[in-house]
Amino acid sequence: MWHLRPGSRITLTTAGGPATFTVIGVGGSDADNGFNIYTTLPALQAATGHPGVANTLLILAANHSHPAIDALAARLEDTLARVGYPSRAQLMYAGRAGNKAQNQTMVLIVQGIGLLIVAISMLGLLNAITMNIIERAREIGVLRALGARAGDLRRIFRTETLTLAVIGLVLAIPSAGCSRTPSSGSSCTSSTSASRRPTASSTSGWP
């Protein structure tokens, strides 16, 4: 929407006053609809009007087991609470597990819809073949009178069926692909996965 690229400059109104940033890269994350800006900690502190402080800690656990990460998050909350900074830990592995379960549910729904569409399509194809045979009963009789064998008739109808299937496949593949428009680009969405290393983040309010 902003047509930003490396080297572009953007000015934002912040709590610390207008701040101008130089774009050094454009990411592909869809988090918060893509409205995320990553900058250095001092620049963020100046923009928010809270120099020298932070409200989020990202901590990498040395022990990657889930119980150890849970215990580390509990200790962090207790430690920060004792010094006057109540916080709430967010476990990255738990968020990834939730996203994975949600994605699996969506895949099952899409597969169910796909199977239903395939079943309806097969019924339509069967109906078309049946009606084709019934309507051509006289032609079949003429062919048999001319010496055509049952195998010849099966080969004729098999060829027609395969031809219909190939035409349907050729017409369906472009519609199943990613539609592109000059303004929005590709309609396919791609997600960027976060680091697979277990982490625990702790968020506290401003002091």
Domain-embedded: residue 8: yes
* CA–CA dist 81, 69 (Å, integer): 18
Contact of 201 with 90, CB cutoff 8 Å? yes
Domain-embedded: residue 21: yes
Domain-embedded: residue 207: no
pLDDT at residue 11, rounded to an integer: 86
Q: What is the pLDDT of residues 126-154, one digit of tens each?
A: 888 788 788 888 888 888 888 888 888 88
Contact of 153 with 137, CB cutoff 8 Å? no
The one-letter amino acid at 47: A
Domain-embedded: residue 156: no
Total domains in the chain come to 1
Torsion (CA) 71, 75, 78, 82 in degrees, nearest 10: 170
> pTM (2 decimals)?
0.41
Domain-embedded: residue 192: no
Domain-embedded: residue 16: yes
Length of the chain, please? 207
Domain-embedded: residue 144: no
Domain-embedded: residue 109: no
Q: Tell me the mean pLDDT in the region 28-44.
A: 75
Q: What is the pLDDT of residues 93-133, one digit of tens each?
A: 877 788 888 888 999 999 999 899 889 988 887 888 788 78
Question: Quick one: which H or E segment has residue 184?
Answer: none
Find residue 20's DSSP bridge partners. 11
Domain with 2 in it: 1-55
